[in-house]
Amino acid sequence: MKLIVIIASFILISNANYRQENLGFFDYEKVQKSLAYYRKHMEKIDLLKTKLNDSLLNLVKPLTKRVSTICINYTAKELESEQNFLLKQQEKIENFRTFALDSIQLEKNKLEHLTRERISLLAKDFCELNGILFLSKKTDFLYCKNCQNYTAEFIKYINLKN
């Protein structure tokens, strides 16, 4: 009877030690790109970039055309008028460019925030299901002895969940 208790204790202790060393990491970028949600929204952001770029080009083309028509024979008053017009148009273009860049960055930030939250929730469920004590992004570690790379398994789990 004492032998059974000793063996059972040994098994429990060895399992507890194994569970403590069940640490891992995953490649965040690969996991992120595997999410259908992420890919879909990145396509929307790319479409937004294209639309904003086209709008910017539509602002620049008339200005470029007008610059090429400036004549050397203009009077000082006409040159000053053209210069003021061009400066106003340049400011308008720069304001739109800043707006476009800010809009794109805002959409990227929103997507990154939502993606980070989703991956975090999925990682928690993945850890509970697989008995993983700790799972983190690969970039969070400088060194981790006995850590396992769970990237492939985590991506499979995400694909099964979606």
Torsions phi, psi of 139, nearest 5? -75, -10
Residue 66 and residue 118 in contact, taking contact as beta carbons nearer than 8 Å: no
Where do the domains of the chain lie?
A: 22-161
Classify residue 36 by burial, with Cβ atoms within 10 Å: 0-12, 13-18, 19+.
exposed
pLDDT at 79: 85
pLDDT tens-digit series, residues 91-127: 999 999 999 999 999 999 999 999 999 999 999 999 9
- Residue 17 tokens read as 């030690």
Tell whether the model's pLDDT for residue 141 goes beyond 70.
yes
Tens digit of each residue's pLDDT (9 = 90 or more) over 29-59? 999 999 999 999 999 999 999 999 999 999 9
CB 146 within 8 A of CB 21: yes
CA–CA distance, 52 with 101 (Å, rounded to integer) = 9
Say what the pTM is: 0.71
- Identify which has the larger pLDDT, 72 or 75: 75
Strands across the sheet with 134-137, in order?
A: 134-137, 23-26, 147-149
**Which position has the higher pLDDT, 159 or 145?**
159
* Domain covering 22-161 in this structure, CATH number: 3.30.910
